[in-house]
């Protein structure tokens, strides 16, 4: 697999489209940090890193609107790929849907949302957009 982050995002996107409540994904530190940000920003209900053999997994409980059953994530899109990395400075930081969505960045201070990176005045690699 050449792009495990794209595989992670695709699994989450497909689980939302299929109406699943839980999705299991092979774990890594980067995927765990992206999942933590999605949980903090309210795009998923909860998550749990399950340690096991032969590899660890991340169990994610997906979030839907209680009455209309619409998914909390409308679109989740990979931006920086292994073939074409996208780096931004703090002055060029993207605003997803004019601030309604989030951009997840990998910075020198760790993985964080675009708002947190602006507050710390640092740029980095744009991993994905979520809205």
**What are the extents of the domains in the chain?**
4-130
Q: Give the C-alpha distances (Å, rounded to integers) separating 76 from 79, 91, 125.
A: 10, 23, 16
Over residues 7-33, the pLDDT tens digits come to 999 999 999 999 999 999 999 999 999
Rounded mean pLDDT of the chain? 95
Q: What span, in angstroms and rounded, lies between the C-alpha atoms of 14 and 18?
A: 6
What pLDDT score does 83 carry? 94
Q: What is the pTM of this model?
A: 0.94
What pLDDT score does 22 carry? 97
Residue 60 in this model has a pLDDT that exceeds 90? yes
Among the four given CATH numbers 3.10.200.10, 3.30.1490.100, 3.90.640.10, 3.30.1490.10, the one describing domain 4-130: 3.30.1490.10
3-state helix, strand, coil in the chain (%, to 5): 30, 30, 35
Residue 52 in this model has a pLDDT that exceeds 90? no
What pLDDT score does 51 carry? 93
Q: What span, in angstroms and rounded, lies between the C-alpha atoms of 24 and 60?
A: 6
What pLDDT score does 32 carry? 97
């Amino acid at each position: 697999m050449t792009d495990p982050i794209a595989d992670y995002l695709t699994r989450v996107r497909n689980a939302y489209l299929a109406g699943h409540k839980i999705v299991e994904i092979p774990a890594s530190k980067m995927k765990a940090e992206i999942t933590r940000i999605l949980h903090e920003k309210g795009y998923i209900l909860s998550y749990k890193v399950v340690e096991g053999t032969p590899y660890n997994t991340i169990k994610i409980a997906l979030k839907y609107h209680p009455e209309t059953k619409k998914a909390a994530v409308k679109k989740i899109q990979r931006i920086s790929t292994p073939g074409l990395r996208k780096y931004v400075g703090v002055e060029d930081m993207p605003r997803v849907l004019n601030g309604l969505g989030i951009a997840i960045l990998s910075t020198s201070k760790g993985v964080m949302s675009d708002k947190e990176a602006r507050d710390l005045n640092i740029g980095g690699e744009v991993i994905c957009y979520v809205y």
